[in-house]
Amino acid sequence: MHLQVSQVSKSFGEGRDRKLVLENISFELVSGQFMALVGSSGSGKSTVMRLIAGLERPSEGTIQLDGVPVRRPGSDRGMVFQKYSLYPWLTAAQNVAFGLSLQGRDRSEIRERTAYFLDVVGLADAARLLPRELSGGMQQRVAIARALATEPKVLLLDEPFGALDLQIRESMQEFLHDLWKRTGLTALLITHDIEEALLLAGTVHIMAPRPGRIVHTVDVQLDRSDLRHLRVSQPFLELREELASRLRSLDGSLL
């Protein structure tokens, strides 16, 4: 798998209302990689993700998946939104099965895969519950299982834990890291939380707003055998502080 974002710019609106939201974004993502985009809100992170998902088209530049230009949304790029994305009338299992049944897979395959992916996210017991009966963290795990069930080449996560309480967010980060190690998925995570990005991603791009652009890229080399330990370790805290001050100076220079 090779995702290639080359010199992508995006503007919304026409004429005098035209607004440049992304300018000259380039990066590449390969199989098994976990990448994060960090930036303050309004820096165009979601727009990058929507362009890759095919929900928007770039104004300039190209996005290619395995050499094929992205033209429309498709199940090879799974997406998890911040919230409100489970179908409230479907049970957890039916939500996970949704993509499979849209693709017209046969029943026994759907049943098998649904059970498998519910199990992968640790929700086998919640199969028959409706979204409103699930906690916020469980809902996001169902959303992740649903996106994984169609076996996308890349998983796009747009602030998936942004709406969760701090404690649950931390356990979800550990869950996601564990999931990545177990399944070898390829992920692009969007977050405004530097800690989250550093904990999970091998490569972190820092984005600045107006117009949205990548201003700094870090390759994170940290020992991730124990995330809880990593969170409070010296090298991690130093790196976090360095990036935080970079972000602050970006915001400061705009005031």
Ligand X SMILES: Nc1ncnc2c1ncn2[C@@H]1O[C@H](COP(=O)(O)OP(=O)(O)O)[C@@H](O)[C@H]1O
Sole binder of ligand X in the list 3, 8, 47, 65 (CB under 6 A): 47
Binding site for another protein (CB under 8 A): 53-55, 72-75, 77-79, 81, 83-85, 87-89, 98-99, 102-103, 130, 132, 143, 146-147, 150, 156
Check binding of 43 to ligand X (CB under 6 A).
yes
Q: Rounded to the nearest whole angstrom, what is the least distance from the CB of residue 45 to another protein in the complex? A: 16
Calculate Rg over the CA atoms of the chain.
18
Q: Which is nearer to another protein, 138 or 206 (CB)?
A: 138
- Could you count the other beta carbons within 10 Å of the beta carbon of residue 107? 10
Sign of the dihedral defined by the CA atoms of residues 36, 40, 46, 52, in that order: negative
42 alpha carbon, distance to own chain's centre: 16
Peptide bond connecting 211 to the previous residue in cis, omega within 30 degrees of 0:
yes
Check binding of 45 to ligand X (CB under 6 A).
yes
Q: Which is nearer to another protein, 104 or 252 (CB)?
A: 104
5 binds, among another protein, Mg ion, ligand X, none (CB under 5 to 8 A by kind): none
The Cα 167–Cα 146 span in angstroms is 24
Check binding of 85 to ligand X (CB under 6 A).
no
Q: Which is nearer to another protein, 80 or 220 (CB)?
A: 80
Check binding of 46 to Mg ion (CB under 5 A).
yes
The Cα 43–Cα 48 span in angstroms is 10
Check binding of 95 to ligand X (CB under 6 A).
no
Q: Which is nearer to ligand X, 43 or 94 (CB)?
A: 43
Stretch touching Mg ion by CB under 5 A, among 4-12, 41-49, 138-146, 195-203 = 41-49
- Give the contact letters, 18-37, x = binds to ligand X (CB under 6 A), - = no: ---x----------------
| Among 10, 49, 38, CA closest to 215 | 38
Report in angstroms the alpha-carbon separations of 166 from 119, 161, 162, 170, 243: 24, 9, 9, 6, 20
**Going by C-beta distance under 8 Å and a sequence separation of 6 or more, which residues neighbour residue 81?**
143, 158, 160
Check binding of 42 to ligand X (CB under 6 A).
yes
The Cα 27–Cα 14 span in angstroms is 27
Q: Across the beta sheet with 77-80, what order do the strands follow? A: 77-80, 154-158, 187-191, 34-39, 203-208, 213-219
Check binding of 12 to ligand X (CB under 6 A).
yes
Q: Which is nearer to ligand X, 39 or 78 (CB)?
A: 39
Q: Which residues bind ligand X (CB under 6 A)?
A: 12, 21, 39, 41-47
Q: Which residues bind Mg ion (CB under 5 A)?
A: 46
